[in-house]
Amino acid sequence: MAKKPSKSKVFPIHILNGPNLNLLGSREPEIYGKTTLAQIKKACTARAKDHGFSILFDQSNKEGELVDMIQKARTKAGAVIINAAAYTHTSVAVLDALKMLTVPVIEVHLSNPARRENFRHTSYVAMGATGTIAGFGLNSYLLAIDAVADLLGGKKK
């Protein structure tokens, strides 16, 4: 009998992005850099492919839509990488949705919230995440894909 493929090989990595990230490249480039969300998506697609994975890449400015995306990931994702942006520090709803997941969850941030305003030092997302990568700009996302691949047994080409 043939071995059933693992969930991680069948389902894509869901990369979910919160409010205002659609304006990357022009929004506070001194904090977030000049890389656009489209450029991040392109780089993530290539990195995931190097590991033998596909991605689903999405963004919403609405908390409820982000929760819906996380809930969809319960049965459709091999892993979740999430930059909840401002909802990181405010949303118990996002935390509750993340706690329902049984796949790896990696929290990412372009900047390092620990070096910013005090209200950014608390992360509800971290309470539901396997791990956090922050402060490396675009590379935060790529490092998160590498971490997911390591957790799920992907292979780097």
Active site residues: 32, 109
What's the token pair of residue 65?
A: 């839509």
Cβ-count burial 59-70 (b if 16+ within 10 Å, e if not): bbbebeebbebb
User: Taking Cα atoms as reference points, which of 52, 51, 53, 65 lies closest to residue 16?
Assistant: 65
Determine the Cα–Cα distance for residues 151 and 157; give it in Å rounded to an integer.
16
Distance CA 49, CA 125 (A): 26
Q: Please, what's the b/e burial string for 2-26 (b: 16 or more CB within 10 A of its CB; e: otherwise)?
A: eeeeeebeebbbbbbbbbebeebee
